[in-house]
Structure 1
């Protein structure tokens, strides 16, 4: 179910967002009090479990983890030195240490509320709870309560991080707080309101760029719980109404409050206005909204809203395509790609949310969600540890799903699938045996995300970088933090980059950001976001078409907005921005191969340019075999530059192989090096752990000053040598490869796919395309033709394509598609206005004789 933001907010009167909700007035006092108690009981059950859940043997490890963590925190509390509440966390200048101190108090408090759990320390639970309350009072009085001294460092800690830990602690200890320090709860909530400085009047402001998406869900969840402990019905009603706005599907043509953060109709998710972020903030939003469903259960606060149906759609359209054998894909993790937590850990959070969602969904959705949980567990190369779930109740539900013989493990993805996430410039192509993930950028979408010393060398991650995941492989050995640690940022798979050396933000400016308050550059300022943290691309085309399980994507590579602004003289003189290389690229995603075309590859500054066909990493102990054939048929192996017809990379250690068929272009260069580097090279807060990998790459090298070049090749997952030999005779042929139009034909599939990048009419095999446009045409049985057309610019009102030859009529066609007979063929005219890059499809057949 998709709820438009416009429709949803029309149900919430403006007055409701700043005053007591009408329903709060209408309900009797006893009903409101019962709802408050239900919210608090539900929240405690989510965090600490119930007597029934905690009696389950499968939950024992989770309870043990809660207890051991609390005991460690009490030891740190006992060992604190001057200026510390916990040993090793000096307070007064570090917002991170203050947030962590509140977290430690919460973790101690949690252990005292776990039914069936062990006492976390000496004495009874009441004594331990009073130590926590004393700690809260000290943190508040000495380091938090005076707002004139606070709000240093990262805004997130003050508005969300501290409030999340503190609010949950107030919920857990509400009874003891009432008996021991009855004033402290209201005092702490008042301070949390005061720190909501990006809000309005101590509350959420839906017009604030800080109160969107996952951040809004975090803030409003905290405020729901605060309202419950205070008995403040108006606060709860307002927080629920605010959180419901995140369920609205973003309509880019009718934005509310100028918000672009959230889920789009094609399953894309954005945070920070322009960052593709399903795998980080997106999973945070999923988790938080599912928790809201759980804490509001049995109350009247969300009656009539299909929260479950909306979130179920997020899972199916937004998350499932991005999870491959239990691994969250790199293309939607922003700066999180540099963290040591793995894609398997990311998916564990999603699985917990799906487990809980399945308990509230109606059939057949509940069974499908449970089947997906079981499928992820079976397909993943990493054993999911339910002890890492937030809730003991979720652990018990997970065990029930795995043990239920009536639940069949089943992916929510079909085996063959192409997903065009055009709203976030990403594409996922799935087949049995592999998944291909592509990252693009545009004036709408950021090239990368750097922030807070994370993802230090991200410059080309949105310039057509790809990730080819192979079935059966432990993806921690293929991607994750060690891939970005050991692979040169200039030689990420799929990237065209100038040969130069760039410096990281800390190296350039001696800090975590560019600091120039007089010109508007402070931490998290709009200028910082636009030009430093997540600059958008300056190219005008990024998108593609999808026809069933086949896809086409195109990208015009250009500079980012920081370089464009620097050249225009609108940035300070000491601001550093880097110029990019140029290329026009297409990816045609088929069954056995992904065909890549590049044209106009050059550098406007005359530098040498590297176009990396692929880069893969392997353990130092893995046996890597590199074999191939030259264009004259001579066998070839090893490394170096050669006129290769094809190359096969085989990793015996992982049992994987990838083939590369070179269709046109200069001689590729093959390299295999051993690289050792610290994980701190990509993230300042990573442990200084040295990583050693074999790094394989195959690339096209252009010398400085070389004229624009073109190249075409196919990536062939799991290829055998015999399969690669067949590319000399087909099945793929390049129809045209220029900076204006690129197209291929696959003889076996009866398919032609093309991208036209500039205005005007362009020929591509049987097609005449009114560009810019993306088109896929496939011959079917009994003379039928199926086709897909898309506007990759997202800005055109109409796109037309002429299929040369016989007259065709429409058998089926999407709304907005018109089919006409013209001289020399059949014209398909598509109304692409406000389609935001989505594909329009039609099935055509030969006209009857009577139709002329």
Structure 2
């Protein structure tokens, strides 16, 4: 295979670094002979773990080295070497339990990495080497071996333990007795024979991130065993050669797990999971591509372009200054040690890793984007979140003057295939988390995400370039889970989710969730709320403009006798924050515990966040409070459990009180991110965006300054001359003589949708194949929405 310039440079660097790693581990230089096709790749695998050569005097590398050394040395000191031990560490006992050996192997990997990395207190120490060899034998005898059958969580047996075990074997390979190596490889071959199937359920084909993880595991055991067939299995697993590409990672799917052409990523059949499983897939596939490059088992599938395109389609819109948006992290939001900054840094690292082997046209853009993310996030610097290998790639980009940092993206993104919407401007972003009978409202299980009840009910995430920690700073253990921004909720007490084994999802019964995008800049979205375990029903819509988000609710009805609320804002003010809250020009109390009923409020401003306008007034409620919680209340998972240490954060909350058992209640509010108090007052008076309708038939907004009319029709109807013969989302922009129309059917219930425009059109400039236009004084568009899975159809007219 012909290597690109970047691949050649990457491989040359890997080769030099691998030599350093081998010397640190005491390996003989003669071990890597030119006749051995496996040792050079094993050296490359070791370099992927240690980062290879670096300058320990560099402050960034010194800090990363200290972090590695501190953790590895602590676990080394705590390692139980007594004859009668039942575990390697007291908190991971007994080692026979899958959750315990599943967590023990990663700790051994950390120790082995420190042993193989120059400059740590454990580097090359014979005692450490011997202790690692002994610990591996103990775990093999006591917990993880080929004679056992799977119990408990399959993941520990088929991904968690084997991956860490193979990594340790790679690092220790020159010191690992052949008998031990063969036993460990045989164990992994027993539980991960190929990337294609779930071993404990052989009829279940692996998909997405799980397939990627297994492909890497099979490749590493193939290298350790010198087994070319295993290496071919690993390579072919990415493309799913076994099943003729059915579960290939290099394809756009139209249902189930994987990347969609619109940028969506789904795992577990119905969960929006770009930020965790999607990132793992990107990282694992990128690692395997780099590992096998230039060998007889190199990945040559031309469809790998799908993975390259996913960086900009799937990941870039969801990374805000290197922070991964929580709307696509699923149950991972409940993990104390994996907050949004951590998962964001992992995604950036995976993108930079993939860039090493990608064509320059892709790689140059990715490096520019990564440089921007890293430089802008000064609140939680990237260098504090990654290890030496990822830090080395980042420093190379930061030090390259030819790489200009890219700006934040500016646009509107509808991920119709995973019920997510993202609206981005240069200094802020708004993400919308919806759900339907197609996409889960939440995933919980194995003790994770115990309070995720309302995260998919229209939760609105507002990101600000001046405060990238708003959701990462202990938001989830301290926020009131019944008052998530953007949601309309029945205030009944809920039981914890996911307390049993295994994971599960909840999909509501509504069909409508999603919307349309106009000129990649403006958008409208809607969701029918059919509450879980309640009679609550509501029709909710959002309209995304240049500097504002208009939120409407109508038909809010329930008959359970409980209060129903719609939450406008519930802002994390951090541990000591006390920003000014001004309502209708009057400064409100900054005292914790203060609350007020503001029935006639027309606008409000929260210092440091922005403004809020209430076109139809109250009944608005406001509250300042300090809330204390623990991560353990959200997550009791075997390997992700949160701490029991209380944390406290302050919140400013605004909500509409619809009262008990409302009948056709409604609300309207406008978010003005980063607006000043004066700008908020001016907006509330001039109303540059007007609510034209807000009922159970149509919800609509007009922004005359932009020539924009946007509506979601719940049924056939009309507003301001714009009409449809059925449900759908329509945006029309008229500037001068040019007209752009965008139409979508987020409910996916229609075959065709007829749209009538309120002004004359004389010609069609361009129209999608699915759009037919009859020009004239009252032009009519016929849009074939059937089978389009809620995606947008457009036409340009004059």
Q: Scaled by the length of structure 1, what TM-score is found?
A: 0.83
Distance 1:480 1:626 in 2: 23
1:734-773 pair list within 5 angstroms: 734-758=691-715, 761-773=716-728
1:225 to 194, 217, 220: 220
Distance 1:32 1:425 in 2: 52
1:131 aligns with 2:131: yes
User: Would the aligned equivalents of 1:329 and 1:343 in 2 still touch at CA under 8 Å?
Assistant: yes
1:817 to 754, 766, 771: 771
Residue matched to 2:375 = 378
2:792 to 826, 839, 850: 839
User: Would the aligned equivalents of 1:198 and 1:208 in 2 still touch at CA under 8 Å?
Assistant: no
User: Would the aligned equivalents of 2:601 and 2:618 in 1 still touch at CA under 8 Å?
Assistant: no
1:42-57 pair list within 5 angstroms: 42-51=44-53
1:687 aligns with 2:658: no
Distance 2:209 2:610 in 1: 38
Residue matched to 2:783 = 830
User: Would the aligned equivalents of 2:96 and 2:143 in 1 still touch at CA under 8 Å?
Assistant: no
Q: CA deviation at 1:383?
A: 4.2
Q: CA deviation at 1:808?
A: 3.3
Q: CA deviation at 1:661?
A: 1.1
1:76 to 61, 73, 78: 78
Distance 1:200 1:193 in 2: 13
Distance 2:302 2:473 in 1: 38
Residue matched to 1:790 = 744
Residue matched to 1:542 = 513
1:507-518 pair list within 5 angstroms: 512-513=499-500
Q: CA deviation at 1:420?
A: 0.3
Q: CA deviation at 1:542?
A: 0.7
Distance 1:387 1:710 in 2: 46
Note the alpha carbon deviations across 1:340-369, whole angstroms, 9 max, x for none.
233222221122222222322333332222
SS of 2:661's partner is: coil
Distance 2:555 2:193 in 1: 49
Q: Scaled by the length of structure 2, what TM-score is found?
A: 0.88
User: Would the aligned equivalents of 1:79 and 1:86 in 2 still touch at CA under 8 Å?
Assistant: no
Q: CA deviation at 1:242?
A: 1.2
1:491 to 483, 491, 514: 483
Shift in CA distance, 433/387, structure 1 to aligned 2, threshold 3 Å: closer
Note the alpha carbon deviations across 1:499-554, whole angstroms, 9 max, x for none.
21112147xxxxx22xxxxxxxxx33xxxx5xxx2111211111100002001000
User: Would the aligned equivalents of 1:616 and 1:696 in 2 still touch at CA under 8 Å?
Assistant: yes
1:310 aligns with 2:306: yes
1:719 aligns with 2:715: no
Q: CA deviation at 1:307?
A: 7.0
SS of 1:694's partner is: strand
Q: CA deviation at 1:682?
A: 2.2
1:669 to 616, 621, 638: 621
Residue matched to 1:6 = none
Residue matched to 1:163 = 162
SS of 1:337's partner is: helix
Residue matched to 2:249 = 247
Distance 1:33 1:605 in 2: 76
Note the alpha carbon deviations across 1:226-285, whole angstroms, 9 max, x for none.
111112111111221112344333432xx6xxxx11111111111111111111112111
SS of 1:491's partner is: coil
Distance 1:44 1:85 in 2: 24
Residue matched to 1:106 = 109
Residue matched to 1:360 = 357
Unaligned runs of 5+ residues in structure 2 are 1-31, 241-247, 590-594
Residue matched to 2:431 = 437
Shift in CA distance, 208/385, structure 1 to aligned 2, threshold 3 Å: same
Shift in CA distance, 487/104, structure 1 to aligned 2, threshold 3 Å: closer
Distance 1:126 1:215 in 2: 36
SS of 2:609's partner is: strand
Note the alpha carbon deviations across 1:130-181, whole angstroms, 9 max, x for none.
4322322221122222644x5333111111100011111222222322xx3x
1:183 aligns with 2:179: yes
**Which shows bigger deviation, 620-629 or 428-437?**
620-629
Q: CA deviation at 1:409?
A: 0.8
1:332 to 314, 322, 328: 328
1:440-455 pair list within 5 angstroms: 440-455=434-449
User: Would the aligned equivalents of 1:481 and 1:679 in 2 still touch at CA under 8 Å?
Assistant: no
SS of 1:624's partner is: coil
User: Would the aligned equivalents of 1:337 and 1:481 in 2 still touch at CA under 8 Å?
Assistant: no
Q: CA deviation at 1:293?
A: 1.8
Q: CA deviation at 1:221?
A: 0.6
Distance 1:51 1:34 in 2: 23
User: Would the aligned equivalents of 1:730 and 1:747 in 2 still touch at CA under 8 Å?
Assistant: no
Distance 2:561 2:329 in 1: 33
Note the alpha carbon deviations across 1:796-825, whole angstroms, 9 max, x for none.
332221113323321122222211136x51
Distance 2:511 2:197 in 1: 41
1:552 aligns with 2:505: no
User: Would the aligned equivalents of 1:338 and 1:481 in 2 still touch at CA under 8 Å?
Assistant: no
SS of 1:420's partner is: strand
User: Would the aligned equivalents of 1:214 and 1:285 in 2 still touch at CA under 8 Å?
Assistant: yes
Shift in CA distance, 247/202, structure 1 to aligned 2, threshold 3 Å: closer
Distance 1:127 1:679 in 2: 37
Q: CA deviation at 1:299?
A: 1.1
SS of 1:293's partner is: helix
Q: CA deviation at 1:788?
A: 0.6
Distance 2:580 2:266 in 1: 40
Distance 2:202 2:699 in 1: 44
SS of 1:674's partner is: strand
Distance 1:141 1:206 in 2: 26
Distance 1:167 1:620 in 2: 43
Residue matched to 1:320 = 316
Distance 1:237 1:297 in 2: 13
Shift in CA distance, 735/218, structure 1 to aligned 2, threshold 3 Å: same
Distance 2:684 2:61 in 1: 54
User: Would the aligned equivalents of 2:250 and 2:305 in 1 still touch at CA under 8 Å?
Assistant: no
Q: CA deviation at 1:467?
A: 0.9
SS of 2:726's partner is: strand
1:552-571 pair list within 5 angstroms: 552-560=524-532
Distance 1:272 1:799 in 2: 32
1:617 to 572, 594, 619: 572
User: Would the aligned equivalents of 1:597 and 1:712 in 2 still touch at CA under 8 Å?
Assistant: yes
Distance 2:602 2:615 in 1: 9
1:581 aligns with 2:558: no
SS of 2:38's partner is: helix
Unaligned runs of 5+ residues in structure 1 are 1-29, 507-511, 514-522, 561-577, 846-852
SS of 1:716's partner is: strand
SS of 2:133's partner is: helix
Q: CA deviation at 1:559?
A: 3.5
1:145 aligns with 2:145: yes
Number of residue pairs matched by the alignment = 747
1:517-528 pair list within 5 angstroms: 523-524=501-502
Residue matched to 1:238 = 233
SS of 1:241's partner is: helix
Q: CA deviation at 1:389?
A: 3.2
1:703 to 639, 644, 659: 659
SS of 1:490's partner is: coil
Residue matched to 1:573 = none
SS of 2:370's partner is: helix
User: Would the aligned equivalents of 1:38 and 1:299 in 2 still touch at CA under 8 Å?
Assistant: no
Distance 1:649 1:705 in 2: 30
Q: CA deviation at 1:201?
A: 8.5
Distance 1:481 1:448 in 2: 21
SS of 1:771's partner is: coil
Distance 2:135 2:443 in 1: 37
User: Would the aligned equivalents of 2:282 and 2:351 in 1 still touch at CA under 8 Å?
Assistant: no
1:89-104 pair list within 5 angstroms: 89-92=92-95, 94-104=97-107
